[in-house]
Amino acid sequence: KGDPCRSVVAARGIGLHKGLRASIGLALVSTAVSLVAAELAYRASLEARYRAEISRFTSDTWQLVPDSPLIFRLPAGHEGRMRMVGADGDVPYRTNADGFRDPTRGVKRHGVPRVLVLGDSYTFGWGIADDEPYPQRAEALLREGGIDAEVINAGVPGYNTEQEAFLLDQLLPRYKPDMVVVGYVMNDAEPQMNVPQPPGRTYRYAISWAWEDARELVMRRLLGAREWASPNKSVPDFSYAQGFDERSRKWRESKAALSGISVGCRRAGIPLLVMILPDFTQPFDAGYPDTIIHRAVTAWGEELGTETADLMPVFQGLDHRPFSVPGDGHPNARAHEVVANALRDRIVERLRLGPAR
């Protein structure tokens, strides 16, 4: 027979072991509940801060659409002024009833080709007069060549490829274009920075918003990595080429949006042209930092079966300064004229409109 004392000790050990496991389990559950509660509270505070920020937001330039993927747009029928740094004065501009820097367009006229141009401040023509952006100049050049055509400027300063894709979904049935052009700029994979960003967009890939911010704080403040940014947050990079690093989600988002634009145009039975516009703040020499972006977008076009036109070779080796707005860096009227000539030729070729002068 067994020893009764030993049995009692064993039974007590089993009881203690079960009690320890129960205590550890309870502690883990309590910790998990506390972390979830803290995360929800942190998210609620960021959402509340965002709502308060947009409630105070006032701007003559931007109109918020916070519950839309567009996030913001230009106000319709607006006369505004672009505040230029280092220039002689502000530059005026007007928007039409649809909020674009373009003449009011009526019903599509029979036999008149219509081209819709999407883009950001480059396409909009930041820093130049209303008749100088490359869509307007391309239309004028076509008419000078005896071709009656409409080239609609739907550029919105600050838009990225994702916003342009959402905008196209709205504009295709409205404008019924015969061709779509995307003016792809070096920061088109970056998040918009013109208005307050919804937290849901900033933390779109983060499981825990609080953890991402805490990790960023530790890396920047305690470890001295001042340029470190969480790969799970949608925030601007310190250089546009960083967004095209192999591990970055930014170029994947931009490529997916461009793919959506391509599919939409294909379903509508209309051609798409992606014009890759260089960064006019950078010297057009061997040290130009964004070559990786030009190559990537060109490769996307080949993969998607979409025509691309990289304009960097047109400017390669030239002094970039005569082509940019003084003190600002956006392309000036001279640069837009070069882009407009290239666009005019592509429109004529793609829509088979006859020889252009």
Name the burial class of residue 340, with classes exposed (0-12), middle (13-18) and buried (19+) by CB atoms within 10 angstroms of its CB. Answer: buried
User: By mean pLDDT, which of 63-77, 220-234, 261-275 is the weakest?
Assistant: 220-234
C-alpha dihedral over 144, 341, 101, 91, to 10 degrees? -100
* Residues 235-263, mean pLDDT to the nearest whole number: 93
* Residues 75-96, mean pLDDT to the nearest whole number: 87
* Residues 302-307, mean pLDDT to the nearest whole number: 97
Cα end-to-end span (Å), the chain: 112
Give the C-alpha separation, 82 to 88, whole Å: 12
| Per-residue DSSP letter, 241 | G
Give the C-alpha separation, 293 to 276, whole Å: 9
Give the C-alpha separation, 104 to 215, whole Å: 50
**Kind and range of the H or E run holding 275:** strand 272-276
Average pLDDT, the chain: 91
What does the H/E/C string look like for 131-188? Answer: CCCHHHHHHHHHHHCCCCCEEEEEECCCCCHHHHHHHHHHHHHHHCCCEEEEEECCCC
Give the C-alpha separation, 117 to 179, whole Å: 9
Residue 38 tokens, joined: 């803290």
Give the C-alpha separation, 165 to 187, whole Å: 15
pTM of the prediction?
0.89
More confident residue, 255 or 87: 255
pLDDT value for 356: 44
Give the C-alpha separation, 153 to 208, whole Å: 40
**Kind and range of the H or E run holding 273:** strand 272-276
CA distances from 103 to 83, 115, 187 (A): 22, 14, 27
In 3D space, the residue among 181, 168, 176 whose CA is nearest the CA of residue 114 turns out to be 176
User: By mean pLDDT, which of 8-12, 116-120, 123-127, 182-186 is the weakest?
Assistant: 8-12
| Per-residue DSSP letter, 218 | I
Give the C-alpha separation, 65 to 84, whole Å: 25
pLDDT value for 9: 47
List residues bridging with 64 in a β-sheet. Answer: 72
Give the C-alpha separation, 235 to 182, whole Å: 23
Apex CA 188: angle with CA 327 and CA 58, to 5°? 65
